[in-house]
Amino acid sequence: MSGRSPRLFTHPAFRAAMAVLSVWCMAPGGCGGGGGGSSGTGVSTTGVSTSAATDPAAPVNGAPPSLTESDVNTIMLQAVHEATARGKPATIAVVDRVGNVLSLTQMPGAPGMATITSGRGNNTGLENVSVPTPLAAIAKALTGAYLSSNGNAFSTRTANQIIQQHFDPGVTDTPGGPLFGVQFSQLPCSDFNTIASGTAGATNGGPHRSPLGFSADAGGLPVYKNGILAGGIGVMTEATYSDNLNPLTSSGSAGSFDDEVIALAGSTGYQAPPALDANNIAVNGLTLQYTDATSANFAAPVAATGTFTPLPLTGFFTGPAAGHTAIAGLTYGSSDGASGVAPDGALGPMLYPGTVNTSYVFTDGAGHVLYAPTNGLVPAGQAITAAEAQALMTSVLNTAYVTRAAIRIPTNTFAQVTATIVDLDGNIVAQARTPDAPVFGADVSRQKARTAAFFSRTDAAAKVSAITASASNTSGTFAQYISDSRSLTGDSNVFADGLAWSEVSVGDIARPFYPDGIDGNPPGSLSLPINLWSVFSTGIQLDLIKQDFVNALTGVPTPAAGCATSNGLGLPPTASGGKTQLANGMQIFSGGAPIYRGNTLVGAIGISGDGIQQDSLISFIGLQNFVDPQAGTPISNAPLAIRSDTLSPGGVNLRYVNCPAAPFLNSSVQNPC
């Protein structure tokens, strides 16, 4: 569609004549062929490397697609130059695709601290907490890098759009954003995300933790090297760390427009191919926002001139080597596994030889594969076995390889996700990914699996009620989340009666209105009333990890048990694995489901990385198509009769799975689930 046709064929008169002719074409099957060419939706795919979708580490123009030290310096200087020209001293961070901070600076005069505020006027959760601006800049940079891929470029502005109480934000009575709650991922307390190298000038395997989770504050963009995703840039010029409540009608009204312009100037020469911009990607018909800034907003022509001083930050950036101002980034997915992600089989035997594409596995950055299929620990005697984990992971990845991606360009390419299988206590049984899945999904898939397993347990209500840390709800107690759930669902034994809770269903009652999005209604029972709610105060999800969040700001080390311990007032470590059941936090959007052996809960699966419907479908179909390799009762999706969608709080049934329209690339089936 993008090619030029000879003039005759584009002449309106010719087209009209052809059109009239075609009126009389009445053969069965119609007059037309397909509407699209290779570019499908009319979006130009110029500059998009489709091979990077299956080999994201492949060299481009003879160089690996990662940021060199020189690249990082250029990006930093371009940003500093624009900030100077604008008179907006900034804190600027550049990260690689797995979250190594490659450089960080705070220009003289830039605010050192920022207050977290949604501008909603509430005072719960993290609202009004003061955070160092370098942490905010890193969070922005990580958000840009982690949400993006070689098929999509998302920014912190995109993040803002997809985590609010309505989607699109500002449209009343519409459900919450598709990634509602994703801001509380990549947490410092996560048992998955890694900590920065303690050696100056060194990087290490990721994915790294983010000091503030994901950012919804404009000013974080991904950076690309020769069209391949290589990292992100984050900019903070202000003393507030916020979100944008009304992004439809305003350009930078939340006050972060300067941040975005500076980030755009910094990434000049390293921008995403325009085809990948979020605004080319429609989610349920609605396009996503990438940036409101353009080069026309630059206060000065882009130039990599001047100097800046690197700012080390304990736990996140040990600083460049002496005499340097930046560190070279790692090549994501290289076969040596240095980035923390490597092709399956590069560092040992293939774990998933049955997948139709080469899948990717996690490493420790030092040549060792992590999270290979292993035997689950609980429930004893019924736990998922390594063989089952391997077969199920293979089924799940192969489902992804035939699922039409919702957020990738070009269209009609396969979905890219990370999948995690956990046992009953949330111990990892297997974790793997497709080649180019956005990095954020690695941690989020764990959160989803653990959340589904946890809330399907018969002791979930008791465990939550036993938490003595304070909550953000009206009574200040975790027990209220359970009692409210009993009231809402009409199930007096909810979270204790063995009902199978999928992530879709958990999300259904974890929004500030119930039903989700209906303004004026009281909240879902795991959420907060709208006057107490914000993206910095989401209810039980934040309350479980709020203490961990504050600890990270004050330098208190993460406990071995992971997230949700609340300094001993939260969930206790499990006997099986020594961590809490929610060791990297709770997640409250679609893409996870519990796993059963017969009627016995044995674990869960979590998927993250593509559209939420695709994530939901891959977990469900992956399990449905899975053939258990061992004798005895196979593992499967929850029996129909005990699924959470048998509940109908407020007269509407919760949803268990949400499978998309036209989901598969190799089949025309519409309703597979």
State which of positions 636-655 bind other proteins (CB under 8 A).
640, 643, 645-646, 650-655
Q: Is the Cβ–Cβ distance between 183 and 433 less than 8 Å?
A: no
> Please, which of residues 173-212 interact with other proteins by CB under 8 A?
173-175
Contacts with 238 (C-beta within 8 Å, 6 or more apart), sequence order: 111, 114, 255, 256, 258, 259
- HSE (side-chain half, CA atoms, 13 Å) at 62: 0
Q: How far is CA 54 from the centre of its chain?
A: 20
Q: Tokens 């490659």 — which residue?
A: 102
Contacts with other proteins by CB under 8 A: the residue count is: 83
328 is written with which tokens? 């070279």
String marking each residue 445-474 x if it binds other proteins according to CB under 8 A:
------------------------------
Nearer to other proteins, 248 or 366 (CB): 248
**Which of 133, 148, 280, 456: binder of other proteins (CB under 8 A)?**
280
SS3 (DSSP) at 465: helix
> Please, which of residues 149-178 interact with other proteins by CB under 8 A?
168, 170-175
What minimum distance in Å lies between the beta carbon of 588 and other proteins?
12
391 is written with which tokens? 């077969």
What minimum distance in Å lies between the beta carbon of 529 and other proteins?
18
Residue 283 interacts with other proteins (CB under 8 A): yes or no: yes
Which alpha helices (H) appear in 237-371, and where do they start and end? 257-266
Piece in contact with other proteins (CB under 8 A), picked from 18-26, 211-219, 391-399, 477-485: 18-26
Piece in contact with other proteins (CB under 8 A), picked from 20-28, 113-121, 357-365, 440-448: 20-28
What minimum distance in Å lies between the beta carbon of 502 and other proteins?
10
> Please, which of residues 36-75 interact with other proteins by CB under 8 A?
36, 39-43
Piece in contact with other proteins (CB under 8 A), picked from 140-148, 273-281, 561-569, 573-581: 273-281
Piece in contact with other proteins (CB under 8 A), picked from 282-290, 315-323, 386-394, 625-633: 282-290
Q: Please name the helix (run of DSSP H) or strand (run of DSSP E) that holds residue 135, with its range, or none.
A: helix 133-147
What minimum distance in Å lies between the beta carbon of 237 and other proteins?
24
72 is written with which tokens? 């990082």
Residue 669 interacts with other proteins (CB under 8 A): yes or no: yes
String marking each residue 405-444 x if it binds other proteins according to CB under 8 A:
xxx--xxx--------------------------------
Q: Is the Cβ–Cβ distance between 389 and 405 less than 8 Å?
A: no
Residue 666 interacts with other proteins (CB under 8 A): yes or no: no
Nearer to other proteins, 560 or 669 (CB): 669
What minimum distance in Å lies between the beta carbon of 592 and other proteins?
15
**Which of 34, 108, 121, 323: binder of other proteins (CB under 8 A)?**
34
Give the C-alpha separation, 351 to 294, whole Å: 45
User: Is the sign of the CA dihedral 23, 24, 30, 33 positive or negative?
Assistant: negative
**Which of 9, 11, 16, 569: binder of other proteins (CB under 8 A)?**
16
> Please, which of residues 373-412 interact with other proteins by CB under 8 A?
404-407, 410-412
Nearer to other proteins, 225 or 643 (CB): 643
What minimum distance in Å lies between the beta carbon of 267 and other proteins?
19
Pairing state between β 220-225 and 130-132:
unpaired
**Which of 11, 14, 19, 301: binder of other proteins (CB under 8 A)?**
19
> Please, which of residues 492-511 interact with other proteins by CB under 8 A?
504, 507-508
131: nearest Cα among 232, 220, 239, 214: 239
What minimum distance in Å lies between the beta carbon of 652 and other proteins?
4
**Which of 58, 299, 303, 518: binder of other proteins (CB under 8 A)?**
518
In angstroms, the Cα distances linking 455 to 52, 489, 595 are 38, 14, 12
Residue 25 interacts with other proteins (CB under 8 A): yes or no: yes
Nearer to other proteins, 562 or 592 (CB): 592
Residue 3 interacts with other proteins (CB under 8 A): yes or no: no
Give the C-alpha separation, 160 to 177, whole Å: 9
Nearer to other proteins, 569 or 652 (CB): 652
What minimum distance in Å lies between the beta carbon of 248 and other proteins?
5
**Residue 353: other Cβ atoms inside 10 A:** 12
Nearer to other proteins, 314 or 668 (CB): 668
Residue 1 interacts with other proteins (CB under 8 A): yes or no: yes
**Which of 484, 516, 543, 615: binder of other proteins (CB under 8 A)?**
516
Q: Tokens 């000013």 — which residue?
A: 219
Q: What's 517-543 look like in SS3? A: CCCCCCCCCCCCCCCCCECCECCHHHH
What minimum distance in Å lies between the beta carbon of 488 and other proteins?
12
Nearer to other proteins, 180 or 214 (CB): 180
What minimum distance in Å lies between the beta carbon of 10 and other proteins?
10
Piece in contact with other proteins (CB under 8 A), picked from 27-35, 182-190, 215-223, 540-548: 27-35
Kindly report the length of the chain.
673
> Please, which of residues 217-256 interact with other proteins by CB under 8 A?
248-249
**Which of 354, 492, 662, 666: binder of other proteins (CB under 8 A)?**
662
What minimum distance in Å lies between the beta carbon of 660 and other proteins?
6
- CA dihedral of 23, 25, 28, 29, whole degrees rounded to 10: -80
- CA dihedral of 524, 527, 529, 533, whole degrees rounded to 10: -140
Give the C-alpha separation, 518 to 490, whole Å: 20
Could you please report the per-residue DSSP string of 351-414?
S-TTSSS--EEEE-SSS-EES-S----SSTTTSPPHHHHHHHHHHHHHHHHHBBPSS-SSSS-B
What minimum distance in Å lies between the beta carbon of 607 and other proteins?
15
Nearer to other proteins, 459 or 497 (CB): 497
Cis peptide before 273 (omega within 30 of 0): no
Q: Tokens 């037309």 — which residue?
A: 32
Nearer to other proteins, 239 or 282 (CB): 282
**Residue 381: other Cβ atoms inside 10 A:** 7
Give the C-alpha separation, 310 to 478, whole Å: 43
Kindly report each contact of residues 108-115 with a partner whose C-beta sits within 8 Å and lies 24 or more positions away, as own/partner.
Answer: 110/236, 110/237, 111/236, 111/237, 111/238, 111/239, 113/239, 114/236, 114/238, 114/239, 114/240, 114/241, 115/239, 115/240, 115/241
> Please, which of residues 603-622 interact with other proteins by CB under 8 A?
613, 620
Q: Is the Cβ–Cβ distance between 297 and 253 less than 8 Å?
A: no
**Which of 329, 577, 609, 660: binder of other proteins (CB under 8 A)?**
660
Residue 291 interacts with other proteins (CB under 8 A): yes or no: no
